[in-house]
Structure 1
């Protein structure tokens, strides 16, 4: 509708009022209000086509409800109509409106404050849109709203204190899945009639129990505070919530003991306290929760014995206690949990047998007991239940796999009994599992044949039989279904040929049959596996020539055919021309310049091989006759080049040595003037973080031995001195500090303290505290642990663990006669790569939104005493007041070569793929020992471009760092290829960090003894 048309209609309505009086206006105003509201909406499917300004009343319009007596509009429900635009004016004309529901659309902009003028509005649902900005404090001023749902939008900022000034009618409130932050307003306690409260998946902080008085909301039935940054303990007092039916507090920073009086909530059906910092035992009072159907206490630090009273929870359907420190045995009475559907007790210290009575839980569909010390045999009747998932891995079970029932065959999707001591035959009927997708029988003592029925699996994608003591031949029918993606048969006693039917596994990307007794030739049918990435056939008795068709497999990243009886020429295409000696050795008949010994090929006449056509890995060539003079000349030039290089290296070493001596002397001089402060942190009795003094400054601890929320006064001037400085970067300078001794450590804790550049940081304490608290929550073995922080308006410090072995940068680029540490071996380099990848994957995939690093480089990878990597400086961009162009330009200059190209282009969407790019460059730097950009006299060398060219030319191993000595080529080559994929110019072409971890774990050598020499 055009503006002129709309204006004309409004004018007519106004004239109608002046002529016909108030009664005519009332109805026409509702038409006018809805038409004005419609004018701000984009309606691509014309759902609102019946809304016509010429109608006298809107009661005949679609999605509009009227009171049949008064003909006044009482409801507007536009859910799921794919509408977009803004929630504009006009709705305030509907003074009899009770229901306004615009859920599941694409509305943008802020919430129209005019909605607060609807004095009779009872239900307001704006969920699942793209609304932003803050919540208007006047939204519930009328006091009539009973149901308010603003969930799944992009609303930000704190919840205004005045929002709940008049909320006596409010029954249900959902603000979940937004970007709301800060503590909860104390006015929330005014909503005394509230039944349902959902604040999950935001950035709320503080202690909700004390700050907002939630425990005073005695009519609460469902309370969801999950996926926030709430802290502190939960005191007893929930007994006041007598009507409580669901309590969800998972994924926060709650600590201390579990509230014992939860056992006094007789109506409680769901209790989820997982992924927090709760300690001590599971309160025995919980045995009284006879209505409980869902109990999740996973991933805390609970101790003590497994609750023997669990049988009293007769209505329990979901039981999750994994990732704690529980001990003891499972009670035989667990069979009384006849309603149980899901049980997971993995990663504890439980022992004993699986109670035979558990077979009485006929509804069980998932059982996970992995990573414990269970022993004995698997109960016979257990496999007669209708499971979807069975995970009994990494225990001490003995005996055989019990036979299954037809009920199991129709339902089972995942079976993992790896890492036990199981023996005997595999039940033949296991092949009848029509839905099975994952089967892992590895690391057992079966001493049997592989059942031919394995080929009957219609949906199997992973089959892992490694080190299972299997023997006999591999069934030719193994790939009849064609769906296998991973097939691992390593470390068994399989004999006979590789079945030709292996070519039917069209989805296979990992094929590993190493360390068996396989014989015969490699079947040509493997060339049909177009998705194959990893091929491992080493340590068998395979013979004959390698089928040349295998060179057409373009996706191969790694091949190992060593220690067989193969002969002849390598395939001319694909990865085979760049295979290293470790992937080929042990085959005396193979023709390769990298191998010694006879070369046998089925050709009509001898083939002359020019020894100078192939670069030798040891840097030597072999020739006779006239070639010797050319070789001698080449050697002279080579030695001359080395002499110049040696002179430059010696001069550089001298300069570096002088610099090191000067720095050492300065440090000695500085130490004479500086004494570290002992017992600098005073003990504190208060646990309230709100008591942070701004005048003197306080240290706030996230992980204190006595009280996680205690803070202590400290004089930062005691260690912020030049002599204590150990590093620095874009965000500030890092100092080493000794925090004084205690009873456990006479020498005191040594910490690292980063003095942040305050000019770029968040200027307000609450905002700073909220963001740092998120970082303090991160717990991963490959991240530097954040201990706490110090804040004043002029000084902001982050306190982290001190990592003693320095940075990866120093291990790669600062080797000198004054640095006695040996160069990193390949085993350590691979460990650093894999650990760093796991740390980044944790940041990217364990949080919503993902936490991005933005600055992956060797300076930010620290190494502990065992050379395990720990990523530092992660998430610091969260502390910036804004990620402006100036900061990003500085980032480019400080991390030149590591920064993804999209960070330089503001029009491109920046996501976690920029970290993947930096990790790809890190791979190249670790493998080659060279910096990502090197400047010569006449040119600039860009490392990833150079490696790409050398890979295409087939001599990529020449760029491997010679300082690390011997290395397995079957690992180095795919790692280099992975690096080039990670550094793709197109972000969508890069893998995720979770995929990178998977690929690295596949590349890793499966036999530890083979790696000990590297």
Structure 2
């Protein structure tokens, strides 16, 4: 068993002496303790140091032989009495527990241990520090609840416990005497329940941050907050508060920051909000506020950040917005604002970020907006018309993102756009823009996304469209482009997606596309392309989706890459592509046969022929007439040809019902049509108490701002749910290859809805139309395991071993339930970290289980291609047509999950000279006896008697032979045996 520090026998003996001395000192009065020869501060700090691990030896200067600690690093003393007044150990990578040694520092005023890896619960070590004025334990790995008297609230002025794993409710007793408190932050924990009513007694509080927890309740229960008239900053964001915000914000005269975003607040904004003259940051986004915007808002002359996005405000766009002269960030997106943009918006000279998307704005874009130094402008999904303004030199230098899509803009794309030197994202799709694509667009040095879909653009695709080499996504679908695709398209070396469908492009598909090694999506359907598909395209190993349907292509498909597994809907409607999926002629591009000139012998035979015709006219007549049998044969042939044509047309109409396999980009889901009224949908909720904002069509709540993830089956959104004020997750399915009939869809979804287990994300219902299919599921508050392992902020603590084992065991139990509680078993097919979600206590919940049941067909090659993005997690039998696929492919993915959790490494890692396959690396290390080299050291201490057997279990689960892998029921039993009972463990000194 590993401990936090390895002590020699001598140091252990000395430590025991120190502890005995401390017990003696605790029994003596203040007068006696001040007369003892040993310094209490030295003893206390040495004992505190013994409880922690210091990998970088920052505390090396802390020596038990010193008479005073005042010369030690990170220590400050009071010059009057020589006692320790401040201990600041921020960001030193320390771990361990906050021990009782601190109790000896009776004159300590500042204790700051932030941005370390301290674990365990908040004990009573600081509860006896009567002089403590500042306590900062933020961004550690502390857990458990807050004791009601863990700190002396009579003296504390600054208390920061943010960024830990603390949970439970806040005790009422904590704030009974808090008149000295000025700063309080409990953000980024897992606290729940209602706020204590005693919090309002902290009348001198300047800063209050309770964000990113699970606090709930109606605002009436926390209305005491509005009476804390000295507040400068109030942050209640990312919780589950509900109800309306009452009038009375007037009392918060000194308020500078008010953040309420991502809650369930409803009703109108308080009319007196504008009576907080010092407000510089106001965020009410992602709530259920409605009604008009209060006119008092125009008084907030100091406002710098202003966001009301994703609510239900219905008033006209406020003409007074230009009076907010200090604004830098303005976001009113995803509301129902009407009217036009006043020309005075061009007076917002400090504005950098403007988002007004998804409203009902009309009229033209004020030219003054394009004279500002904006960095981000999003006016998409409105009803704006007129021309795109030309822009100014200020905008040319500053603009990075421009989205004017889904409006009614007309005219041409201004050539001046080529002067936007820093532009990265340009989306002008779904408008009425005409003329050619300006060649200047290819000169953007930093442009990564160019989306001009569904306009009326004509001409050719410019050869220098990728002159800068930075373009990642190029979408030109739904225009009137002509001419061949230029060979220079091969210069777009960074392209991830190339979509040119629904145009009038001619000529052959360029071989140069094979140079686009990063390409994942290629859409060329509904053009007039001819010839064969270049065989070189089969070398594109990253290509995930191709559609070349409805062109004039012929010949064989490339033999490599994705082409052998293309669906027939990606190939149909051509002249003669050779594929077993297609019924019809197969035309190969072979040389034409030699044809003799029928007039070659005319000069030599003409006279002889005329002589014969004159000599025997009857014989000549028979040669130019058809016999009765010939006529019958020709008639039969004509009937057969007509029958073939009719049957072919019927086959084409049936094949049109099969849709092309779309992938990760949500914006590509509907490129085949410009407009159309959606079919009325059907919302089914399995729980009668559940309500999605009280509406029948949850699809209207889905927008970019609510998007929280994307996977092989679709995009996931976070949506508020009434009346509890909590959230649900809605997955908008990529409908290609999905079940297309509501009755079949309902049957399969209801089977998945019955799969209830503590470690499965519960399916709450669905919404169905022929064009859109949504799954409504439970929302997991701590995100997914992929983010926790590989994408967490540097300030966030890594997962401890206890949490990692909890995730392993819980995931195993969830999979065992799917495999052994259903007949036939539900197979996940896609076990990977991004499909393991975490609740507030880091309990795992498997998502996306059973969604393969919604596919129209379950052939192994379809599944393996759909999930090939899960690099390293796909079981080898999914790629082999001769092996029977069963639950053992989930066992393989689970084994890889264990390896990733224990090692902290990705399943496949690419170095400069090599590729590391994680399973092979661990297997070699185990065989060579170097298991320690595999373990993720960032998780701190770990019990070897648990970690090593778990690693070996993972290697068994990832066996290349499916029959050699255990069942998930056996895996659960093995893990329960591995888990050592807590009482048998040695606690570290």
Q: TM-score, normalised by structure 2?
A: 0.65
Contact 1:984 / 1:990 at 8 angstroms: preserved in 2? no
The secondary structure found in structure 2 opposite 1:535 is strand
Superposed CA offset, 1:684-717 (max 9, x none): xxxxxxxxxxxxxxxxxxxxxxxxxxxxxxxxxx
Deviations along 1:154-212, one digit per CA (max 9) or x if unpaired, are 10111111111221111110000101011111111111111000000011111345435
Give distance in 2, aligned partners of 1:358 and 1:496.
42
Q: Partners of 1:778 and 1:61 in 2: how far apart?
A: 66
Q: 1:374 aligns with which of 384, 393, 409?
A: 384
1:452 and 2:452 are equivalent in the alignment: no
Aligned residue number for residue 186 of structure 1: 197
> Which residue is 1:827 aligned to?
740
The alignment partner of 2:517 has SS state of coil
Alpha-carbon distance in 2 for matches of 1:404, 1:30: 70
Q: Secondary structure at the match of 2:36?
A: helix
Give 1:127's match in structure 2, choosing from 125, 135, 138.
138
Q: Structure 1 residues 867, 485: CA separation in 2 closer, same or farther (over 3 Å shift)?
A: closer
- The answer to whether the 8 Å contact 1:118/1:142 transfers is no
Equivalent position of 2:416 in the other structure: 404
Give 1:529 deviation, angstroms. Answer: 1.7
Looking at structure 2, the residues matched to 982 and 461 of structure 1 have their Cα atoms a distance apart, in angstroms, of 36
Which digits, 9 at most, give the CA deviation of each residue in 1:320-378, with x for residues without a partner?
011111110000111110110011111111100001121332x2111101111000000
State the distance in 1 between where 2:585 and 2:859 align. Answer: 33
Query: What do residues 710-730 of structure 1 show as CA deviations (whole Å, max 9, x unaligned)?
Result: xxxxxxxxxxxxxxxxxxxxx
* Equivalent residue in structure 1 for 2:112, among 95, 101, 108: 101
Paired residue secondary structure (2:126): helix
1:568 maps to none
Map of 1:395 onto structure 2? 407
- Alpha-carbon distance change, 216 to 901 in structure 1, aligned in 2, over 3 angstroms: same
Q: Secondary structure at the match of 1:117?
A: coil
CA distance in 2, matches of 1:779, 1:121: 55
Distance 1:877 1:330 in 2: 38
Does 1:595 find its partner at 2:604? no
Q: C-alpha distance in 1, partners of 2:684/2:205?
A: 46
- Of 754, 758, 761 in structure 2, the residue corresponding to residue 854 of structure 1 is 761
> 2:854 aligned with 1:923, yes or no?
yes
Per-residue deviation at 1:592?
A: 4.2
Tell me, in whole angstroms, the C-alpha distance in 2 between the residues paired with 1:105 and 1:456: 47
Give a deviation string over 1:47-97, Cα, whole Å, max 9, x none: 111111111111121111112342211111111111111111111111111
Q: CA deviation at 1:153?
A: 0.5
CA distance in 2, matches of 1:902, 1:478: 37
Deviations 1:530-588, CA, capped at 9 Å, x for gaps: 21111222222334544xxx3232xx2xx5xxxxxxxxxxxxxx437xx5487356444
Alignment of 1:57-456 (within 5 A): 57-211=68-222, 213-361=224-372, 363-381=373-391, 384=396, 386-404=398-416, 408-409=420-421, 411-456=422-467
Partner of 2:667: none
Distance in 1 separating the partners of 2:692 and 2:122: 28
Greater Cα offset, 343-352 or 134-143: 134-143
The CA deviation string for residues 479-519 of structure 1, in whole angstroms up to 9 with x for no partner, is: 32411000001111222232232122110011112222223
> In the alignment, is the contact (CA less than 8 A) between 1:311 and 1:336 conserved in 2?
yes
- Aligned partners of 2:490 and 2:826: how far apart in 1? 44
Report how far residue 384 of structure 1 moved.
3.4
Counterpart CA distance in 2 for 1:750 and 1:379 is 43
In 1, Cα distance between equivalents of 2:139 and 2:269: 34
Q: CA deviation at 1:263?
A: 0.5
Partner SS, residue 505 of structure 2? strand
Q: Distance in 2 between matches of 1:867 and 1:426?
A: 31
Q: 1:591 to 1:313 in 2, by over 3 A?
A: closer
Partners of 2:531 and 2:890 lie apart in 1 by 35
C-alpha displacement of 1:476: 1.8
CA distance in 2, matches of 1:867, 1:483: 32
Size of the aligned set, in residue pairs, is 724
State the SS of the aligned residue for 1:37. Answer: helix
CA contact (8 A) 1:775 1:875 kept: no
Q: Please give the alpha-carbon distance, in whole angstroms, between the structure 2 residues aligned to 1:900 and 1:68.
A: 69
Q: C-alpha deviations, 1:366-425, integer Å up to 9, x for none?
A: 11011110000001126635211000000000011112367622x101000000000123
**How far apart, in 1, do the equivalents of 2:83 and 2:480 lie?**
79
Distance 1:902-1:425 versus aligned 2 partners, 3 A rule: closer
SS in 1 for 2:351: coil
- Could you tell me how far apart the structure 1 residues matched to 2:525 and 2:879 are? 26
Q: Residue in 2 aligned with 1:6?
A: 15
Which structure has more relative contact order (CA 8 Å, sep 6+)? It is 2
What is the deviation of 1:920?
3.7
SS in 2 for 1:827: coil
Q: Check 1:401–1:983 CA distance in 2 against 1; reply closer, same or farther (3 A cut).
A: farther
Paired residue secondary structure (1:306): coil
The DSSP-based 3-state class of the residue aligned with 2:546 is strand
Cα pair 2:549 2:569 within 8 Å, conserved: no
Closer, same or farther: CA 902–455 of 1 in aligned 2, 3 Å: closer
Structure 1 contact 27–72 (Cα < 8 Å) conserved? no
Counterpart secondary structure, 2:549: coil
Whether the 8 Å CA contact 1:877–1:883 is kept in 2: the answer is no
User: Any conservation in 2 of the 1:33–1:93 contact (CA below 8 Å)?
Assistant: yes
Deviates more, 1:913-922 or 1:455-464: 913-922
1:218–1:243 contact (8 Å) kept in structure 2: yes
Task: Indicate the SS of the match to 2:155.
Answer: coil
Query: What TM-score does the superposition give when structure 1 sets the normalisation length?
Result: 0.64
How far apart, CA to CA, are the structure 2 residues paired with 1:193 and 1:950? 64
Are the counterparts in 2 of residues 853 and 875 from structure 1 also a CA contact under 8 Å?
Answer: no
Distance 2:815 2:486 in 1: 58
Matches of 2:374 and 2:237 in 1, distance apart? 27
SS at match of 1:254: strand
Match of 1:583 among 559, 571, 574: 571
Gaps of 5+ in 1: 560-573, 606-748, 757-771, 791-797, 801-807, 809-823, 841-850, 931-946, 957-975, 992-1014
**Aligned counterparts of 1:16 and 1:265: Cα–Cα separation in 2:** 53
Query: CA distance change for structure 1 residues 26 and 152 in 2, over 3 Å: closer, same or farther?
Result: farther
Alpha carbons of 1:590 and 1:189: their partners in 2 closer, same or farther (altered >3 Å)?
A: closer
Using a 3 Å threshold, how does the CA distance of structure 1 residues 317 and 161 change in structure 2: closer, same or farther? same
Cα distance in 2, alignment partners of residues 832 and 529 from structure 1: 35
Q: Once structures 1 and 2 are overlaid, which stretch shifts more, 311-320 or 109-118?
A: 109-118
Unpaired segments of 5 or more residues in structure 2?
1-6, 594-681, 703-716, 783-808, 861-874, 901-989
Query: Judging changes above 3 Å, is the alpha-carbon distance between structure 1 residues 342 and 872 closer, same or farther for their aligned structure 2 residues?
Result: closer
Question: Which of 22, 34, 39 is the matching residue for 1:28?
Answer: 39
2: CA distance, partners of 1:26 / 1:250 = 57
Aligned mates of 2:539, 2:811 — CA distance in 1? 51
Give 1:152 shift: 0.7
Establish whether residue 551 from structure 1 lines up as the match of residue 559 from structure 2. yes
Q: Closer, same or farther in 2 for the Cα pair 1:955/1:923, shift >3 Å? A: farther
Q: Alignment RMSD, CA only?
A: 4.8
1:496 corresponds in structure 2 to 507
Q: Could you tell me how far 1:450 is from its partner in structure 2?
A: 1.7
**Secondary structure of the structure 1 residue equivalent to 2:125:** helix
Query: Cα distance 1:951–1:106, how it changes in 2: closer, same or farther (>3 A)?
Result: closer
